[in-house]
Amino acid sequence: MIAARDLSFAYPGGGFALKVPALDVAPSERVGVIGPSGTGKTTLLNLVAGMVRADAGALTVAGSDLSTLDDAARRRFRATHVGFIFQNFALVDYLNAYENILYPYRVGLGLRLDAQVRDRARALAEACGIAHRLKSHPAALSGGEQQRVAICRALVTQPKLILADEATGNLDPETKEAILDLLFDRASDMQATVLAVTHDHDLLPRFDRVIDFATLRQPA
């Protein structure tokens, strides 16, 4: 599902730079990523999602060579292949929770919003315990509720690759386990790959494999 070789990226203006000699993630694998803050874990997810383009190296995701895709093609790829759970939720303030869950269908090329999708959105909200909050806007939701909306949004397109950046960071322990169960159950149903950044080491036994990013990357 993911194959990276000699991957490098640096933000314009200097400062942070990332170098990853090699990374392989198999289809349907559940991989946790740990490591100190500031080492580039979120940047790696952004590269895999095609949100930013590597400066050098090879990166193939779901059979697509991301280095050959222009911005529009990467957006189309992301809409049809990737579900991204952002650390800061990235909800749209003027949309209610239900509309935020369906947001990928408003902007994603190649996605068709129909009754089946709407039913799936409601079912995900029910499973996440936020069905009663679907008409609420982000400002009226708690951090944990916003996080669950973001998780529903990432899953509603039934992606083959789920990227999660601290997906359970704002949840209490009991809810955290329930949401991780939902995430992994849906991934199994869709035969999807999960690549998840987490600082919660209590969750690591749930993954097939754990990558310590401090040892994966090279000094820039």
Three-state DSSP state, 57: strand
The residues, ordered by sequence, that sit 6+ positions from 4 with a Cβ below 8 Å of its Cβ are 20, 22, 23, 24, 47, 48, 57, 58, 59, 60
Q: Determine the Cα–Cα distance for residues 6 and 20; give it in Å rounded to an integer.
A: 6
CB atoms within 10 A of CB 202: 10
Q: What is the pLDDT of residue 98?
A: 98
Band of the pLDDT at 220, cuts 50, 70, 90? low
The DSSP symbol for 218 reads B
Residue burial 175-190, b: 16+ Cβ < 10 Å; e: rest? bbebbbebbbebbeeb
Q: Which residues pair with 205 in a beta bridge?
A: none
pLDDT tens-digit map of 188-205: 989 999 999 998 888 899
- Whole-number pLDDT of residue 121: 97
pTM of the predicted model as reported, rounded to 2 decimal places: 0.93
Length of the chain equals 220
**How many CA atoms are closer than 13 Å to the CA of 71, on its beta-carbon side?**
0
Cα(26)–Cα(6) distance, rounded to whole angstroms? 18
